[in-house]
Amino acid sequence: MSWRLWLKSKPKSVNLGFYGEVNAGKTTLANKIGLDWAEQEVGIVSEIPHETRDIQKLEKVNFSANGTKLDLTLIDMPGIATSVNPKEFMKHGLSASEAMQRAKEATRGIIEAIKYLEQVDVALVIIDASKSPFDQVNFTIIGNLEHQKKPFILVPNKIDLIEADVRLVRDAFSQYPVVPVSAIQGDGIDELYDKIAELAKRVRR
Amino acid sequence: MKYRVDFVPYSETNDLTDDEKIRYILSKVMRNTILVLENGLTPTEEMNLISKTMVKINFNDFVGLRFFSFDGGTDFKLNKLFGRGSKNKVFTVVAPNEAVTVQKDKRGILSIRIND
Ligand SMILES: Nc1nc2c(ncn2[C@@H]2O[C@H](COP(=O)(O)OP(=O)(O)OP(=O)(O)O)[C@@H](O)[C@H]2O)c(=O)[nH]1
Ligand SMILES: [Mg+2]
């Protein structure tokens, strides 16, 4: 095979970043994608906010959808927040010192996640569809992705919950690609895979 | 705790560099001031504000802030009302996290309740 052909048949490598508010289900979705394509999870899921405090990567994920083959690196980010209050964690049963430790790690994690944005090729912005989507954090993330010309998909998650209101998210973000999912139950995941394959075509290598 | 609301005109922040503007905001917000900035933030400045806030949090009297940006527009479509695009927003509100309960509804109305 000529090197040209080889280059063409080689799956494109794409850094897929998971961004969003704290607790939106970023890690749950990253795990789902990791299990589907590499039989591996990416990180730990918890109902306690700021569970992910270090960037977690899963490399060499051989992904394929709609005839597009990709060599994905899943990059699960700490959730982005504008405040971190240790008292919040104590409500979840953490001791004062555990809460303080978690809070310190959370602030550092947020800074890391923001820095890493530059290295992401395609971003998934995970939104908890059972909550109001009008949190400033979502708009700030989207504004930065647009500014840096990164392709991204808005992913309203937790659509299995009765409180989930996908229409509200669609209305608020009408000019962007929106693919609702339940990361836990897998609803919408094939549509998401098709969209990832589509946006990956725009990534330059 | 007493809180103060400052309406900051364009002229006050327009000549500042990005970093100076963020420092200005943080120093005020950390001294219990709620800011309404006529010269709103860009998305890049908003991210920068989040990063710098994380450095300043001391888990004691400062646990962070909340901010909301508004885009201009004459029609009441949601996408006009919720800060979008890379331009400066028409105005931005920044408040200490502990001071207020802030809620933005789907009509774009921002309600700030100041806690006592
Ligand atoms: N019902 C429902 N719950 C979900 C879904 N996805 C995630 N969750 C729950 O939401 C909580 C947070 O999930 P995580 O995956 O840890 O969220 P995260 O965005 O990674 O959170 P941080 O790392 O703390 O920012 C957990 O209790 C999950 O079980 C979903 O599709 N449906
Ligand atoms: Mg996580």
What are the extents of the domains in chain A? 11-132+147-200
Q: Which residues surround ligand 2, an ion (CB under 5 A)?
A: A 26-27, 51-52
- CB B79 to CB A172 under 8 A? yes
β partners of residue B100: B114
Residue A25 has, within 13 A of its CA and on its CB side, a CA count of 24
Per the listing, tokens 């009509």 go with: B107
The superfamily in CATH containing domain A11-132+147-200 is P-loop containing nucleotide triphosphate hydrolases (3.40.50.300)
Q: Decide if B36 contacts B8 (C-beta within 8 A).
A: yes
Output the CA torsion B21→B109→A153→A110 (10° steps). 40
Q: What does the alpha-carbon distance between residue A114 and residue A43 come to, in Å, rounded to a whole number?
A: 19
A205 Cα to the center of ligand 2, angstroms: 28
Q: Decide if A140 contacts B50 (C-beta within 8 A).
A: yes
Burial (CB < 10 A; 0-12, 13-18, 19+), residue A166, is middle
Q: What does the alpha-carbon distance between residue B46 and residue B18 come to, in Å, rounded to a whole number?
A: 10
Q: What does the alpha-carbon distance between residue B19 and residue B8 come to, in Å, rounded to a whole number?
A: 17
- Convert the pLDDT of each residue in B81-98 to its tens digit: 444 444 556 678 888 887
Smallest CA–CA distance, residue B15 to chain A, in Å, is: 22
- In this structure, which residue's CA is closest to atom 9 in ligand 1? A25
- Convert the pLDDT of each residue in B38-65 to its tens digit: 888 999 999 999 999 999 999 988 999 9
Smallest CA–CA distance, residue A77 to chain B, in Å, is: 15
- In this structure, which residue's CA is closest to atom 11 in ligand 1? A47
Best CA proximity match to A151, nearest among A183, A114, A180, A176:
A176
- Convert the pLDDT of each residue in A62-89 to its tens digit: 999 999 999 999 999 999 999 999 999 9
DSSP letter for A119, please. Answer: G
Cα three-residue angle A125-A131-A137, rounded to 5 degrees: 45
Q: Decide if A75 contacts A42 (C-beta within 8 A).
A: no
The CB of A53 under 6 Å from ligand 1? The reply is no
The CB of A138 under 6 Å from ligand 1? The reply is no
Task: Check CB contact of B79 with chain A, cutoff 8 Å.
Answer: yes
Report the 3 state secondary structure along chain B.
CCCEEEEECHHHHCCCCHHHHHHHHHHHHCCCEEEEECCCCCHHHHHHHHHHHHHHCCCCCCCEEEEEEECCCCCCCHHHHCCCCCCCCCEEEEEECCCEEEEECCCCCEEEEECC
Q: Residue A99: closest CA among chain B residues belongs to which residue? A: B59
Mean pLDDT of A167-179: 89
Tokens of A73: 């690196």
**ipTM of the modeled complex:** 0.93
A171 Cα to the center of ligand 2, angstroms: 26
Question: What pLDDT is stored for residue A184 in this prediction?
Answer: 97
Tokens of B105: 């509804």
- CB A134 to CB B55 under 8 A? no
Residue A49 CA, closest ligand 1 atom number: 24
Query: Cα(first)–Cα(last) distance of chain A, in Å?
Result: 21
Q: Decide if A50 contacts A77 (C-beta within 8 A).
A: no
Q: Residue A61: in which H helix or E strand, if any?
A: strand A56-65
pLDDT at B78 over 80: no
Q: Decide if A121 contacts A16 (C-beta within 8 A).
A: yes
Contacts of A81 in chain B (CB under 8 A): 50, 64
B89 Cα to the center of ligand 2, angstroms: 30
Tokens of A166: 């996908």
Smallest CA–CA distance, residue B59 to chain A, in Å, is: 6
- A5: confidence class by pLDDT, cuts 50, 70, 90: low
Task: Check CB contact of B55 with chain A, cutoff 8 Å.
Answer: yes
Window from A97-101, A136-140, A141-145, A168-172 with minimum mean pLDDT: A168-172
